Amino acid sequence: MQTYLAPYVHYTTNCAAEAFAAYGKVFGAEPVILRGTDMPGGTPPGAEELVVHAQLKTDDFTLYGSDDCMGTQTPMQGFEVCIFADDTAQTRGWFEQLSADGAEVHVPLAEQPWGSVYGQFTDRFGLTWAFNLDTPGT
């Protein structure tokens, strides 16, 4: 088995299903969604329809997430999901699609002083993304 690191995002606004459907469209992958009703033994009262586990697997990465089924998560802060890529058109397409529709763009996707093309935004679901287009020498 290969060891790897993958983000697991908890949506305190309970929008994991909507978020993963949107991410699936952008990255061309079908998300796997498990709700409280899918779990043996059930979930806390009121969490039956919440997402207890979501997975979006692409050829290059996997993103995991869930709603705040236990009511114990804090809002997302202090991290971002970073995508390092080398395909200019694909990177720009992902950035444009994910940063549309209510996102707050912090850094427009553009060449930076260190030589890479970089951009950052927080999407409408509260997740902060960073895109770094690898260029020779960076």
CATH at residue 93: 3.10.180.10
Instruction: Indicate the pLDDT class of residue 36, thresholds 50, 70 and 90.
Output: confident
Tokens of 64: 């995991």
Do residue 32 and residue 57 come from a single domain?
Answer: yes
Q: What is the domain range of residue 62? A: 8-67
CA–CA gap between residue 111 and residue 23 (Å, rounded) = 25
φ/ψ of 52, rounded to 5, equals -90, -20
- Domain endpoint, select from 67, 95, 116: 67
Handedness of CA 93, 15, 73, 76 (dihedral sign): positive
Q: Which of 26, 79, 60 is nearest to 134 (CA)?
A: 60
Q: Is residue 1 part of a domain?
A: no
Rounded CA gap, 116 and 10, in Å?
Answer: 30
Average pLDDT over every residue of 77-104 = 93
Q: How many structural domains does the chain have? A: 2
Record the pTM: 0.89
